[in-house]
Chain A
Amino acid sequence: MTDAAVTMDFHPQPPPGQAKPWAFPVPGRGALGNGLTVLHCHRPGQQVVAVQICLDMPLDVEPDGLDGIAAIMMSALAEGTSKHTAEEFAAEMERCGATLEASADYPGARVSLEVPVSRLPKALDLLAEALHTPTFPSSEIERLVRNRLDEIPLEMANPGRRAAKQLAQELFPASARLSRPRGGTEDTVAPIDAAGVRAFYQAHVRPGRATAVIVGDLTGVDLDTVLAGTLGGWTGDAAKPVPMLPVTPAGTGRVVIVDRPGAVQTQLLIGRTGPDRHDRVWPALVLGTYCLGGTLTSRLDQVLREEKGYTYGVRAAQRVLRSPAPHAAGRAMGVSVLAISGSVDTASTGPALDDLWKVLRKLAAEGLTETERDTAVQNLVGSAPLKYERAASVARTLAEQVEQHLPDNYQAQLYARLAETSTTEATTAVIAAFPVNRLLTILVGDTSQIKAPVQALGIGDVEVVTG
């Protein structure tokens, strides 16, 4: 073959075929006698069934000074039950080919189970045992507490995690749970003990405040009978409403550098607070944020990666932290974080931030183009069938809807609303989300290399912290 000489036959770019209909599934809804809400969804071919137990237990309910007790309690559900020791329980689950994970996040807590459908009844039986009769042995709680204390420095060594911790601390007042790490700090985790964990469980875990989401190929599964014999045996008091403290987000345009001497890259996290999904602006915000930094061909990476090579990739995204029911008293309490994140080589920190701000200013001055908006809609809406192939993906989105007090058809409606959102609406939303003069910039990197060039940009006062 000679050099760049091309010897193949070329054909014009082919047009698409006829699109086939697809819709995000709307789940069946029911309730068990014990008050447990059940959402179920049959997904043909998905042999691994995904189960999510959502507990209406936002982190606001943690006792003062014991941040992290929710996460420890959730992990401890599987570390000893009335019928099994911690080791036995884990082995029984794994003999089902099952994985079980528990987590506690700002909006609520979750247990996630994934298991081949052939072993679903057995795994649900074990799950019910963990929810209903955990024993919280002192020795296991001590182990989990020590493990958590050991994990904190590992997490904080990761520049992305460190930046996220700093952003939360800067965005919210210290009194707000949202300002502090989900899993707590050394000071708040150390005093957690078995008695405290038991009391916390008693106060907050009950079927009347929980929803089970079950998604997968349920062919031949008599779900009502299976549930009655497993999660149906979980009992507890009637549900009490969860109080939620109001939050007034702080934050103006400024820069905080977390010093990492010798770091070869600077981790960027640039953001502020935004609304939750109940807000009418949400679809426009999703669309505008995607155009700004949703992918490699979005505005930020077009410049920072594909033109300048400063980074492996920078993304803009939103994450809901709290989302009460729309008719709850004091409705304006939903909150998300809107942020641009990525890492750039140390020497390029100043130039990369300069370019990043130029991208934002250009966006604010000129707005999005129709083509950009159309491509974004085609991607966000068009990719839904592939995004939701797995049962676990569907279950996660349904669980988020539950946790964020959204209607069962929320995701399906979101796609319809995205398709209706205009270029002007998306432009307005993204400019409001990332105002150039009011962004909080967290940089985890080598202060001696980056402080001066960052100060010179005039994007806000620069403060340096360590740790």
Chain B
Amino acid sequence: MCAPVGHTATEQAGPGGLTATEHRLDNGLRLVLSEDHLNPVAAVCLWYDVGSRYEVKGRTGLAHLFEHLMFQGSAQVKGNGHFELVQGAGGSLNGTTSFERTNYFETMPAHQLELALWLEADRMGSLLAALDEESLENQRDVVKNERRQHYDNVPYGTAFERMIALAYPEGHPYHHIPIGSMADLDAVTLDDARAFFRANYAPDNAVLAVVGDIDPEQTRRWAEKYFGSIPSHGGKVPPRDGTLPDIIGAELRVEIREEVPARALMAIYRMPRDGTRECDAAELALTVLGEGTSSRLYNRLVRRDRTAITAGFGLMRLAGAPSLGLLDVKASARAEIPQIEAAVDEELARLRTEAPGAEEMERAQALTEREWLDRLATVAGRADELCRYAVLFGDPQLAFTAVNRILGVTAEEVRAVAAARLRPDNRAVLAYEPVTSEDTAAPAGDQASAAEENDKRDGARQ
């Protein structure tokens, strides 16, 4: 049975009067519902509390490869039936895997909502009835090609993977990125996949959000009908602890000589965890420094010094480990890395010592608010945010108030987080020096120790 829990009594209206209710089935599945009748569409989003941080040594990439297997059929859905049925109903769908979660989503014409719920329930409850060696072998090849396409065959494609491996030490659950290594992908067995499903795919390890042109009572009945009999798992193994000191302690640095088209300076700074006020302050600090075309770094490097073609600095929020500040500067043809780095350091030092002025705060807040309006502008975007706050912070309602928390941050708090975190001793740096193909045969310093991985967004998609 469904029983309302938590915050339904203190339902808060978000931007545009958005609200959500939360319910829990007896098997532990959390259900979040949010009505919006402006368009005849409904989004279904299912977050499983499992991501690459759960993977063990020798099996990197398993969570994402498994996500692919979720599209290969279940007891009542043959082969590619999941894709065929959703698309044939006028829906769109996909799944993605990040460090901290795996999500599956369908956006449907409203009258096809029930089909999406039926499909998600079928694979949650009966995937192993269909999972076989042939699917595994096929999707292993597909994922290896995904890795080649997005990481290995692209200039700077492995930068993120290398920086992550530097910033999170060996053995840390975030030391590798979700795509995994080729060797580990090769090593996955059918038994690994089955064990992964049994350990992580269960109603009590998931949040289901349904947003849009829905009848909440009817949707609850459908959720109960299709998901209600799936046994809960119980005894979930918590993720390995991702706690690290606030500061790396000394700059980590790798010079990379590779066949890339331009010099580049990239870095990861260790930032406060998501869910803290310091993390919200960090978002504004990085917006002041590196978002848009009038940020401090853009004005300095691209407009005035003219040493860079692009200059960006953004925040990747993480809840189970320190978040990441990602710096990415592509150099102009004549510029050298040391002059760029000196300018970056000057700009960081300025923010560490002096709070941003009112106009800069206004700009950072306006851009942040805009980003939230974009995220919440579609039913799918809203469903994903509701799942995020439910899975990572236990309360979906936080999605509607997130932007207000960021807007409440003061200029002094922005300065303080910069002083605490945006320091040379708190970064892992990659400096790219282009070489021609003949040069690459020569040993290229010590970068071989870095693992491989790269995705500026939060995961690998189906």
Chain B residue numbers with a CB within 8 Å of A456 are none
Complex Cα distance A6/B228, Å?
14
Q: Which of A87, A146, A151, A384 contacts B294 (CB 8 A)?
A: A87
Q: Is the CB of A309 within 8 A of B140?
A: yes
Smallest distance from the beta carbon of B265 to chain A beta carbons, Å? 15
Whether B333 contacts A149 by the Cβ 8 Å rule is yes
Proximity bits, A396-440, B CB within 8 Å = 1, else 0 = 000000000000000000000000000000000000000000000
B380 CB contacts on chain A under 8 angstroms:
386
Distance in Å: Cβ of A203 to nearest Cβ of chain B: 27
Contact B84 A19 (CB under 8 A): no
Q: How far apart are A138's CB and chain B's nearest CB, in angstroms?
A: 14
Contact across chains for B141 and A309 when beta carbons are under 8 A apart: yes
Q: Residue B137 at the A interface, CB < 8 A?
A: yes
Task: For the complex, give the distance between the alpha carbons of A343 and B293 in Å.
Answer: 33
Q: In the bound complex, do residue A378 and residue B230 qualify as a contact, i.e. CB atoms below 8 Å apart?
A: no
Cβ of A13: which chain B residues have Cβ within 8 Å of it?
76, 85, 115, 118
Q: Cβ of A343 and Cβ of B148 under 8 Å apart?
A: yes
B154 and A22 within 8 A (CB): no
**Interface window among A63-71, A177-185, A262-270, A357-365:** A262-270
CB distance from A358 to the nearest CB of B (A): 18
Residues of B within 8 A of A391 (CB): 377
**Hey, what's the 0/1 contact readout for B363-392 against A, CB within 8 Å counting as 1?**
100110110011001111000000000000
> Once the chains are docked, how many angstroms separate the CA of A316 from the CA of B144?
22
A343 to B145, CA, bound (A): 8
Q: Which residues of A contact B294 (CB under 8 A)?
A: 87, 90-91, 93-94
- Which residues of B approach A to under 8 Å, CB–CB? 15-16, 36, 38-41, 75-76, 79-80, 83-85, 87-92, 107-115, 118, 121-122, 125-126, 128-129, 131, 137-146, 148-150, 152-155, 194, 198, 213, 225-226, 228-231, 259-262, 292-294, 299, 302-303, 306, 309, 330, 332-333, 359, 362-363, 366-367, 369-370, 373-374, 377-380, 437
Assuming A8-B231, A11-B118, A386-B109, is B198 touching A153 (CB within 8 A)? no
Cβ contact within 8 Å between A307 and B332: no
Bound Cα distance from A157 to B306, whole angstroms: 22
Tell whether A3 is near chain B: CB-to-CB under 8 Å.
yes
Contact B153 A47 (CB under 8 A): no
Excluding A14-B118, A343-B153, A345-B145, 16 further A-B contacts by CB distance (< 8 Å) are: A6-B128, A9-B228, A47-B16, A48-B377, A91-B363, A93-B294, A154-B261, A159-B154, A262-B437, A306-B138, A307-B138, A309-B142, A310-B145, A345-B148, A381-B90, A386-B91
**A265 to B148 Cα, complex, angstroms:** 7
CB–CB B149/A17 < 8 A: no
Residues A312 and B112 in contact, CB atoms below 8 Å apart: no
Contact A389 B39 (CB under 8 A): yes
A-B pair count, CB < 8 Å, reads 244
| A240 at interface by CB-CB < 8 Å | no
The answer to whether A378 and B88 touch (CB under 8 A), given A154-B261, A343-B145, is yes
Given B88, B112, B144, B231, which contacts A7 in the complex, CB threshold below 8 Å? B231
Chain A's closest residue to B143 (CB) is A312
Given contacts A22-B40, A90-B293, A385-B39, contact A3 B194 (CB under 8 A): yes
Is A16's beta carbon under 8 Å from chain B? yes
Per-position contact with B for A68-106: 1 when CB-CB < 8 Å, else 0?
A: 000000000000000000110011011111110000000
A14 touches B155 (CB 8 A): no
Inter-subunit contact A382/B89 (CB<8 Å): yes
Q: Is A261 part of the binding interface, using a Cβ–Cβ cutoff of 8 Å? A: yes
Q: Give CA–CA (A345, B148) in the complex, Å.
A: 8
Q: Mark A262-301, 1 if CB is under 8 A from B, else 0.
A: 1111000000000000000000000000000001110000
Contact: A297 with B80, CB < 8 Å? yes
Q: Are B363 and A94 in contact (CB under 8 A)?
A: yes
Contacts of B333 in A (CB 8 A): 146, 149-150
Residues of chain B within 8 A (CB-CB) of A261 are 437
A93 to B259, CA, bound (A): 37
Q: Smallest CB–CB gap between A253 and chain B, Å? A: 27
B87 contacts across to A, CB distance below 8 A: 295, 297, 375, 378-379, 383
A residues in contact with B15, CB < 8 Å: 47
Also in contact, A146 and B38, with CB within 8 A (given A18-B111, A94-B293, A159-B153): no
B146-A312 in contact (CB<8A): yes
Q: Is A173 an interface residue (CB 8 A)?
A: no
Cα A196 to Cα B129 in complex, Å, equals 68
A-B contacts, 27 of them at CB < 8 A, read A1-B198, A4-B194, A7-B229, A8-B229, A10-B122, A10-B126, A13-B118, A16-B114, A17-B110, A47-B377, A87-B299, A90-B293, A94-B366, A97-B370, A99-B292, A119-B366, A264-B153, A297-B80, A297-B83, A308-B138, A309-B140, A312-B146, A385-B40, A386-B91, A386-B108, A386-B109, A389-B377
In the complex, the chain A residue whose C-beta lies closest to that of B361 is A95
Interface residue? A323 (CB, 8 A): no
B231 pairs with A22, CB closer than 8 A: no
A97 near B366 with CB under 8 A, answer yes
User: Which single member of A306, A381, A390 contacts B80 (CB below 8 Å)?
Assistant: A306
Q: How far is the CB of A276 from chain B (nearest CB, A)?
A: 26
Contact of B137 among A21, A98, A264, A309 (CB under 8 A): A309
Given A48-B370, A146-B332, A382-B90, A390-B378 contact (CB < 8 Å): yes
Question: B306 is contacted by which of A46, A95, A143, A343 (Cβ under 8 Å)?
Answer: A143
A147 at the interface (CB under 8 A from B): yes
Given contacts A375-B84, A383-B91, contact A95 B262 (CB under 8 A): no
| B114–A345 touching, CB < 8 Å | no
Nearest-neighbour CB distance to chain A for B405, whole angstroms, equals 17
User: Which residue of chain B lies nearest to A379 when distances are taken between CB atoms in the complex?
Assistant: B87
Residue of B nearest to A382 (CB): B90
A-B pairs with lowest CB-CB distance, top 7: A382-B90, A309-B141, A8-B125, A97-B370, A97-B366, A90-B294, A17-B111
Q: Is the beta-carbon distance between A296 and B80 smaller than 8 angstroms?
A: yes
A374 and B213 CA atoms in complex are apart in Å by 25
Residues in chain A near residue B90, CB distance under 8 A: 378-379, 381-386
**Closest A residue to B298 using CB positions:** A90
Evaluate whether A312 and B39 lie within 8 angstroms (CB atoms) in the complex, with A48-B377, A97-B370, A378-B89 already known.
no
Task: Report the Cα distance A116→B437, complex, angstroms.
Answer: 48
Contacts of A20 in B (CB 8 A): 40, 109-111, 213
Contact call B369/A154, Cβ cutoff below 8 A: no
B residues less than 8 Å from A458 (CB atoms): none
Tell me, rounded to whole Å, the shortest Cβ–Cβ distance linking A102 to chain B.
Answer: 12
Q: How far is the CA of A385 from the CA of B379 in the complex (A)?
A: 12
Does A330 count as interface, using CB distance less than 8 angstroms?
A: no
Q: How distant is the Cα of A8 from the Cα of B74 in the complex, in angstroms? A: 12
Q: Can you name the residue of chain B whose Cβ is closest to the Cβ of A388?
A: B39
Taking CB atoms, residues of chain A closer than 8 Å to B16 are 45, 47
Known A10-B76, A19-B111, A309-B139; contact A389-B41, beta-carbon cutoff 8 A:
yes
Q: Are B261 and A157 in contact (CB under 8 A)?
A: yes
Mask, A100-121, CB within 8 Å of B = 1, is: 0000000000000011100100
In the assembled complex, how far is the CB of residue A39 from the closest CB belonging to chain B, in whole angstroms? 20
Q: Which residues of chain B are within 8 angstroms of A383 by Cβ–Cβ distance? A: 87, 90-92, 109
Q: Taking A45-B36, A382-B89 as contacts, is the C-beta distance between A147 and B302 under 8 angstroms?
A: yes
Q: Which residues of B contact A308 (CB under 8 A)?
A: 138, 141
Chain A contacts with B in 136-168, Cβ cutoff 8 A: 143, 146-147, 149-151, 153-154, 156-159
Q: Is A305 an interface residue (CB 8 A)?
A: yes
Q: What is the CA–CA distance of A159 and B155 in the complex, to the nearest angstrom?
A: 10
In this complex, what residue of A is CB-closest to B233?
A1
**Residues from chain B with Cβ under 8 Å of A44 in the complex:** 38
- B89 contacts A16, CB within 8 Å? yes
A22 touches B262 (CB 8 A): no
B128/A3 in contact, CB under 8 A: yes
Measured CA separation A323–B113 after assembly (Å): 39
Q: Which A341-387 residues sit within 8 Å CB-CB of chain B?
A: 343-345, 374-375, 378-379, 381-387
Contact of A441 with B by CB under 8 A = no
A147 touching B75 by the CB < 8 A rule?
Answer: no
> A52 on the interface (CB 8 Å rule)?
no
Residue of B at shortest CB range from A262?
A: B437
